[in-house]
Structure 1
Amino acid sequence: MMIMLINIKSSTSSPPFEFLKELQGCKKGACDKVQGLRDLKNYLQHFGYLPSNNHTKTPIQTQTHSLADHDHDHNHDDDFDDLLVSAIKTYQTNYNLKPTGTLDTETLYNMMKPRCGVADIVNNNTTRMRSGKKRAHPDNHQDHHHYHTVSHYTFFEGKPKWPASKSKLTYGFLPGTPSEAAAAVGRAFNTWASNTHFSFVQAQDYAKADVRVSFERGDHGDGDSFDGAGGVLAHAFSPTDGRLHFDAEETWAVGVVPGAFDVETVALHEIGHILGLHHSSVEGAIMFPQIGAGSTKGLHGDDIQGINALYNVVV
């Protein structure tokens, strides 16, 4: 069943990340100053790969205070500088690409995919999606240099989580939310309940719910404006804020519909943030930042391991 949720399209407007196409093949030394690099820097700053001056708590805030203030000026020019090279390499590492620092076709194609609006890096420009790896015991106890990784989940800075007294959470929908969308989000809550110590019940009063779900457009008052169809799909805040926002300008659907995004799949991802999970570098995990149109996805072992680790649940 297709749900049209304030689906706004314009034949004259391009998807938000379309500008990246013009930068294909750029690298330091070959295109040290190229028009459009400042837009790339804005993109990388938005998702945590370059430092930000913004100290307001938003879903995409990056706390990169260790870099000198003068470095921030480089985010607004078209120079292919060393800071940009480093940011691109970090991005490539997080998305399982070869960390060359070059804007090759594969990297740009990946950057253009619709995704969650929560930043990938949230801790002093060092925390990566891969930083949640837990190291198992050495395969050979005499050799402490050989480890194997067992997970790729990560947490928000400071590991915020819901207190033990709040294992039963209420959720509500902004009045006017289509019933089909509300039902799909409800199923996502049920899936998390089936795999965690949490339980969820729908509240009648949206304003008093622990988790408040709404479909929003553009600047909707949380400091993180949506960008229109084809860019950021949704975002949510870490515990215990409780806000979960979908971009109403996307084409939303229930189930697999070509060119549309499955409400339940995106809800599963954003509820993960609500519970305290950050992004994962495991492509099969629901907490991987990118979500494709015309597809569905469920919880992965990495997601369940992560939430159990955060709340010290032994299974």
Structure 2
Amino acid sequence: MRKLFNYLKHFGYFPNEGLAEIEGWRPVVDAEPDDVERFDETMEKAVLAFQRQNGLKPDGFVGPKTLALLNTPRCGVPDRPDAVTEDGPRSFVMSGRRWSRHNLSYHFDNTGADLPANDARAAVQQAFDRWAAVSPLHFSESNGASDMQIGWYSGNHGDGWAFDGASNVLAHCFFPPPPDTFLAGDLHFDEDETWTVDTPPTGIDLASVALHEIGHGLGLDHSSDVSSVMYAYYGGMRRSLTADDIAGIQAIYGYPPYSAIATLSRAGDHADAYWVTPDGRIETNFWTAAEGWHQPFTIAPPGSAALGAIATLSRAADHADAYWVTPDGRIETNFWTHAEGWHQPFMIAPPGSAALGAIATLSRAADHADAYWITPDGRIETNFWTAAEGWHQPFSIAPPGSAAPGAIATLSRAGDHADAYWVAPDGRIETNFWTAAEGWHQPFSIAPPGSAAPGAIATLSRAADHADAYWIAPDGRVETNFWTAAEGWHQPFSIAPPGSAAPGAIATLSRAGDHADAYWIAPDGRVETNFWTAAEGWHQPFSIAPPGSAALGAIATLSRAADHADAYWIAPDGRIETNFWTHAEGWHQPFSIAPPGSAAERS
């Protein structure tokens, strides 16, 4: 019984003088048992809290499952009372501390004895990259003084949190300032463990533990979601963030400032690319078969657009539209006609209409155009234009709380039909559809909670009786679901394995009725694709641009003919790059169509 008491005291369930030095810490149970050798009501209260915190049945008994967890390796950061309520555990929990800036540095004091230094550094870098991909944070390794110091240590190593040998506490990481102590953000691994980067792990998986501990260093506490990275106990290899982890980090720092690029082809011999510049202009460049790519130019002045959302459509060969979200949440548009060129930007939804980061468009007929966006309270709103009446008034097609910021997609598989798709706050994929006969219906799910990471969804319709939706899962898989008129929606499935895609960007195209392509940006900045043919199904993903090519968060595609496909992205230095495929020659080499600094990239 004393061993149980000592364990619970060590991890914050009883008063602890050592933990009392941590600003803001208090024990889960306010007083110790009168006799630590007896299981009394006070001990039962602590056990109940432990069970609630860690996703166990809260019965107050130390049964086989509780005992097994007590003997499982875990993080050394103590548990907190505000993570457990009488109604049960909370999911992600914020420590109450955060970094006051988004650009953070880290430095390795040492890299441990088990692994080559480059392997250890790469595993930790991978963990930093995972958090950076879903937040506005940026991490860089420093050769000297830094925000976060990283090292491997044994036993008492001078920080007041001594390690205890192999197979109990694996590591710990200190929360961000304040207080602005020299330990804030520092990450310490237990040298007595056997660390590995093998797959499957042949010891303790370094990348998984680093991912968890860095979460603490950014301000997250332990989660009671047993599948989350921030769950206190080690469960083997867990190298990708879950919806719970992503929701937690974004609750502290907000959403990643994804960049934006959009494309259209209004005729087989013409292609346009559009983007948002660092000063909020809308710029475009266009290609013609006769002259190739031209020079970029502006179609909306500085300050017009917030970073993160632009959409385009062509409802006829002599017409092109661009749409964007302004810094004050208006929806604005500008249009081009062959006879008059570009006009002046104007508003189709008032200030406060849209949350930053997502807009989509469609044209289901030459005399009709729709724009769709996510509001600050999570509604899906739309406005539409008809040649006879012009723009109407915005209205909602999904209620408050429906959508997480950052991703909406649309398609029209027939002139009398329109679909909108989005990612819900809990990671479901939802849709609503309009028919000319019945109008808008009620939203419904096509993929369950936890399916999608915030920030990216794409759609295509390769035939009037077929619709596809594509998204990036929290673990970096690329997933899809499809609808057929004969069978309705099917079950989601993967077309690229875990770790394939960074959150925030996916694009699709169908260059023929028997062909579909999906494109995404890998965590290392490669541009990847996979394709489906009616004859062979889905193939294996492959790269069309090397590591470091693309900034996270923006990719666009178009097919101007059945034997041609283009992909466009923003490079880390703000260039606009593209690569193209032809049936005769396959994929070519990437090249630039706008110089460095042209587009706002992820900071």
Q: Same fold per TM (> 0.5)?
A: yes
1:188 aligns with 2:127: yes
Letter in 1 for 2:240: G
Partner residue in 1 for 2:94: 155
Structure-2 separation of matches of 1:245 and 1:129? 26
Q: Which residue number corresponds to residue 210 of structure 1?
A: 147
The DSSP-based 3-state class of the residue aligned with 2:47 is helix
Distance 1:200 1:311 in 2: 14
Q: How far off its partner does 1:130 sit?
A: 6.5
Q: Is the 8 A contact 1:62 1:119 kept in 2?
A: no
Q: How much has 1:95 moved relative to structure 2?
A: 2.1
Q: Indicate conservation of the 8 Å contact 2:136/2:254, yes or no.
A: no
- Structure 2 SS opposite 1:169: strand
2:172 counterpart residue number: 235
Kept in 1: contact 2:107–2:141 (CA 8 A): yes
1:64 aligns with 2:27: yes
Picking from 78, 103, 113, the partner of 1:168 is: 103
C-alpha separation between the residues in 2 aligned to 1:55 and 1:180?
33
Match of 1:308 in 2: 250
8 Å contact from structure 1 (residues 172, 213) kept in 2: yes
Change (3 A) 1:55 1:189: closer
1:292 aligns with 2:292: no
1:127 aligns with 2:82: yes
Q: 1:131 to 1:265 in 2, by over 3 A?
A: farther
- Give the aligned residue type for 2:5: K
Matched, 1:248 2:191: yes
- Between the aligned partners of 2:193 and 2:229, the Cα distance in structure 1 is 19
Kindly tell me: are residues 258 and 130 of structure 1, through their superposed partners in 2, closer, same or farther at Cα, counting changes over 3 Å? farther
Question: 2:12 matched to 1:48?
Answer: yes
Offset from partner CA, 1:34-74 (integer Å, 9 cap, x none): xxx11211100111122223355359x9413983xxx4474
More helix by share: 1
Maintained 8 Å contact 1:52/1:72: no
Distance 1:129 1:270, change over 3 A: farther
1:245 CA drift (Å):
0.5
Give the match for residue 69 of structure 2. 110
Which residue type is aligned with residue 116 of structure 1?
Answer: C
2:52 to 88, 93, 98: 93
CA shift at 1:96, angstroms? Answer: 2.1
3-state SS of paired residue (1:160): coil
The aligned counterpart of 1:83 is 42
Q: TM-score, normalised by structure 1?
A: 0.72
Structure 1 residues 258 and 181 mapped into 2: Cα distance closer, same or farther (>3 Å)?
closer
Compared CA separation, residues 62 and 42, structure 1 to 2 (3 A): farther
Query: d(CA) in 1 for partners of 2:20 and 2:118?
Result: 34
Matches within 5 A, 1:219-230: 219-230=156-167
d(CA) in 2 for partners of 1:266, 1:192: 13
SS for the counterpart of 1:54 is: helix
Query: TM-score with structure 2 length normalisation?
Result: 0.39
Secondary structure of 1:232's aligned partner: coil
The answer on whether the counterparts of 2:76 and 2:170 sit within 8 Å (CA) in structure 1 is yes
Name the residue aligned to 2:310.
Answer: none
Matched residues in 2 for 1:256 and 1:130: separation? 38
Number of residue equivalences: 247
Distance of aligned partners of 1:100 and 1:53 in 2 relative to their CA distance in 1, 3 Å threshold: same
Using the TM superposition, name which of 185-194 and 168-177 deviates more.
Answer: 168-177
* Worse-matched range after superposition: 217-226 or 258-267: 258-267
Q: Deviations over 1:108-145 (max 9, x none)?
A: 01111111111111xxxx41256999xxxxxxxxxxxx
**Alpha carbons of structure 1 residues 225 and 255: separation in structure 2 relative to 1, 3 Å:** same
Identity of aligned residues (%): 36
Aligned partner of 2:137 among 198, 202, 205: 198
Cα distance change on mapping 1:175 and 1:53 into 2, 3 Å: closer
Alpha-carbon distance, 1:248 to partner: 0.8
Closer, same or farther: CA 153–132 of 1 in aligned 2, 3 Å: farther
Contact 2:10 2:78 (8 Å CA) reproduced: yes
Contact 2:13–2:27 (8 Å) recurs in 1: no
Instruction: Supply the distance in 2 between the matched residues of 1:109 and 1:65 (Cα, whole angstroms).
Output: 21
Q: 1:184 to 1:229 in 2, by over 3 A?
A: same
SS in 2 for 1:190: helix
Say if 1:131 and 1:290 are closer, same or farther in 2 by CA, change over 3 A. Answer: farther
For the pair shown, the structure with the greater C-alpha radius of gyration is 2
| Inter-partner Cα distance in structure 1 for 2:221 and 2:59 | 25
Amino acid at match of 2:83: R
- Counterpart residue number, 2:212: 269
Counterpart Cα distance in 2 of 1:111 and 1:223 = 22
Q: 1:141 maps to what in 2?
A: none
| Alpha-carbon distance between aligned partners in 2 of 1:65 and 1:194, rounded to the nearest angstrom | 34
Name the CA shift for 1:193/1:302 in 2 (closer, same or farther; >3 Å). Answer: same
Distance 1:55 1:114, change over 3 A: closer
CA distance in 2, matches of 1:202, 1:302: 27
CA distance in 1, matches of 2:153, 2:164: 11
Instruction: Tell me: CA distance 1:170–1:304, structure 2 relative to 1, closer, same or farther (3 Å).
Output: same
1:87 CA drift (Å)? 0.5
3-state SS, counterpart of residue 162 of structure 2? coil
Does the 8 Å CA contact 1:187/1:264 hold for their aligned counterparts? yes
Q: Residue in 1 aligned with 2:2? A: 38
Once superposed, what is the RMSD of the aligned Cα atoms? 2.6
Q: 3-state SS of the aligned residue for 1:212?
A: strand
Change over 3 Å in CA distance of 1:308–1:43 after alignment to 2: same
Q: Does the residue aligned with 2:126 lie in a helix, a strand or coil?
A: helix
